[in-house]
Chain A
Amino acid sequence: MPGHAQGPDGDLIRLQGVSKTYRLGAVAVTGLVDVDLALRRERFSVVAGPSGSGKTTLLNLVGCIDRPDKGRIEVRGTDIAGLDDDRLSDFRARTIGYIFQGFNLVPVLSAFENVEQSLRIAGIAGKERRERTRAMLASVGLADKAAHKPDELSGGQRQRVAIARALVKEPALVLADEPTANLDSATGKQILDLMHDMQSRLKTSFVFSSHDPQLVERADDLVTIRDGRVVEVRRAA
């Protein structure tokens, strides 16, 4: 896959001494406390932990949609602190795909256009963009639903569109925040199978946050987090 570079020591993501605190009104809420973590490339990594433990904060920081109060984050060897807002946007557009718990599809766009939107933002031009979109929708089994708007699709189909949107730009990293939480277990399993299959085929690194035991079982690397601290990292061979 093009552009799937890694850190100098082979890690795709490295966090060193990363802390993050949020303010909710007058209350300071701890997100992460002094986290050191490395995640390997081309793996199915899962960040697990109870609600409020800091899973989403970790994904937000790794996904470059938030900045740490302290510490250093490298994604694909790039220190994200050195990027201004526009460069960070461009970095996300090229490098990172997102799959959201609530799918977050743009309701006025068709399935095809939602997927294509990701390539537009990444600056991929006309013909190539349309061909890649078509191929990706076919890969997730939605070739016949391309013209459908999100509200004409089932939950599972919407999440497939979201997966296609995340993967169509061939990112180095796909982040998924509890991607099966809004799906019934059968659909959740189908979606997991699909993501696993795509990860194997595309060699993309996936990082999930999840409570879902189905997902935890499949993790190559499992990071357990509690009260904003990494308490365990279990790596499969």
Chain B
Amino acid sequence: MAQILDLATRNVWRNRRRSLTTMVAVAVGALSIVLFGGFVANIFVGIETTMVKTAGHIHVYRNGYFLFGSGDPSGYGIARYRDVMRLIEQDAEMKPMLEVVTPRLQLSGIAGNFAENVSKTFLGVGLVPSDRERMIAWDAYKALVPVPSYGLDDARPEEAVVGVGMARMLHLCRALGGKNCPTPPAKAVAAQTQEGAALAALATAEGTAEGTADGKGAEQAPAGATARIDLLAATASGAPNAVPVTVIAAKSMGAKPLDESFVVMPIAQAQRLVYGRGEPRATAIVLQLKSTSMLPAARARLEALFKSEGLDLEVLDFAQLDPWYNQVRGMFTAIFGFIAALMAVIVLFTVVNTMSMAVVERTREIGTLRALGMRRGAIRRLFLAEGAVLGLIGASLGVGLALLLAWLVNGSGMTWTPPNNVEPVPLLVRAAGSPSLLALAWAGLAAVAVLSSLFPANRAARLEIVEALRHA
């Protein structure tokens, strides 16, 4: 085999220009696959990192919440959720996998800036601000995807952050300022209604009546706050409830519908709104793991744990929570597959052409080797080896060049803003960090080169010796 490989290598260099052209074609194929694959790998990593930073790896819900309960946070809240969190945190199998375990409360209702006589439906989430700060620090892949802090504080539950669109709708921009947050035209501001005044009255009344454990209500909002709004929702008992919050910032949420409806606040405030004086619950317990690779083991353990404890809870991972994740993966995988197939076809035709010409040019030599006693199989192996040499050298060149270009791109500091993102992210090509991609491009194109040589190699092996020796 070593001798065949040696002979094949020498034969490859007989027609240098043709062989180099073929190798360049293979190299361009490998380069394209690695660069695009590395870019796609970075997109996958970026999406995963963003999701894990913001939503964690796993959400634990009351059974049925995911399908039926998002409109009914009081009905599907997890009772004694702190006990469940403790159970998870203290489990010997779970403990080494956990980065953050934190409760969340999803809610919806109406947000009103009654001083300006405007209101709007909102989708809200209550969370533990310090836990979120820990979560957004997660960067297992060094993806460098920025997820901004909300700037909320566990100790200031009455503060909230809203989407920029929401701030616009509620006329909070003058107080908050910021990009894309203009103040509305004067005539819109002037359109005061009776309904607006009634809602403001309700917010004040409910804030006092159902009130909060710490005694703070709407009237206790920080003095001089100019971005105060009231949040109204139905409590677990069905009664309307309202809490005041001070909007400390408006953050762009990327997607317009979310941007115009999102409110985030410390969970204590959200619990006051949804559960009033009743037992505070959480709609989800969010788990962030040290590594995504731990996900299957963590899921299995949680399911076993809840079953053994008789808890009616379900476990969903981030890909299940947001179908967009798998849709984006599917789309980019399909594009990558298409490009890889295109490159493989180009390599196939180039190598077939090169090897076919080599067989024609060396027909007499093939006859000579056969006359000397070389078997048909050895002739076939010789040409397959030549295809392999072309493929391996070309693919190695391509992969090497791709690594160099990826290094240059990664060091260039270029950024881009993916769809639905707010902040630009670094333009990275994960080539060196994707050994399976490098192996796929290298071995895949080498294999295509060998396969492409099969037809010419078979033709060479089938040549009749006498005919071959007669060849001019």
Contact = CB atoms under 8 A, between A and B. Distances in A.
A66 B377 CA distance: 18
Contacts of A102: 364
A89 interface: yes
A103 B436 CA distance: 49
A141 interface: no
Interface in A46-80: 60, 63, 65-66
B375 interface: yes
B465 A65 contact: yes
B375 A86 contact: yes
Contacts of A165: 372
Contacts, number: 66
Nearest to B373: A93
B14 A65 contact: no
Contacts of B329: none
B373 A104 contact: no
A161 to B, nearest CB: 13
B466 interface: yes
A104 B368 contact: yes
B3 interface: yes
B369 interface: yes
Contact of A117 (B372, B375, B377, B466): B372
B140 interface: no
A92 interface: yes
Contacts of B198: none
Contact of B369 (A63, A66, A90, A121): A121
Given A65-B465, A66-B466, A118 B376 contact: no
B466 A92 contact: no
Contacts of B466: 60, 65-66
B374 A121 contact: yes
A86 B376 contact: yes
A209 to B, nearest CB: 13
Contacts of A66: 464-466
B353 interface: no
B299 interface: no
A104 B365 contact: yes
A118 B375 contact: no
Contacts of B464: 66
A55 B94 CA distance: 87
A27 interface: no
A94 B364 contact: no
B79 interface: no
B196 to A, nearest CB: 91
Contact of B365 (A65, A106, A121): A106
B360 to A, nearest CB: 16
A63 B373 CA distance: 11
A66 B11 CA distance: 27
B11 A86 contact: no
Contact of A92 (B10, B13, B373): B373
Contact of A89 (B7, B13, B365, B373): B373
A89 B372 CA distance: 8
Which of A65, A98, A100 has the most chain B CB atoms inside 10 A of its CB?
A65
B371 interface: yes
B53 interface: no
Nearest to A101: B469
A136 to B, nearest CB: 15
A94 B373 contact: yes
B372 A118 contact: yes
Contacts of A85: 375-376
A109 B11 CA distance: 10
Interface in B322-361: none
B371 A92 contact: yes
Contacts of A122: 373
Given A65-B466, A104-B365, A107-B14, A121 B372 contact: yes
Q: Which of A86, A106, A109 has the most CB of B within 10 A?
A: A106
A118 B466 CA distance: 19
A100 B469 contact: yes
B465 A120 contact: no
Contacts of A109: 7, 10
A28 interface: no
B168 interface: no
A108 interface: yes
Contact of A121 (B13, B373, B376, B465): B373
Most buried by B among A89, A106, A121, A165: A89
B281 interface: no
Listed residue (B13, B371, B464, B465) with the most chain A CB atoms within 10 angstroms of its CB = B371
A165 B374 CA distance: 14
Of B3, B10, B368, B378, most buried by chain A (CB within 10 Å of CB) is: B368
A143 B466 CA distance: 32
Given A60-B466, A66-B466, A120-B3, A86 B374 contact: no
Contacts of B373: 89-94, 96, 121-122
Q: Which of B13, B14, B372, B374 has the most CB of A within 10 A?
A: B372
A107 B7 CA distance: 11
A51 to B, nearest CB: 14
Contacts of A118: 372
Nearest to A105: B368
A94 B373 CA distance: 8
Contacts of B62: none
Nearest to B465: A65
B362 to A, nearest CB: 9
Nearest to A94: B373
Contacts of A63: 371
A149 B14 CA distance: 13
B439 to A, nearest CB: 31
B104 interface: no
B272 interface: no
B7 A65 contact: no
B370 interface: yes
B375 A89 contact: yes
Contacts of A121: 369, 372-374, 378
10 contacts: A63-B371, A65-B371, A86-B377, A90-B373, A92-B372, A98-B371, A109-B7, A118-B372, A121-B378, A165-B372
Interface of B: 3, 7, 10-11, 13-14, 364-365, 367-378, 464-466, 469
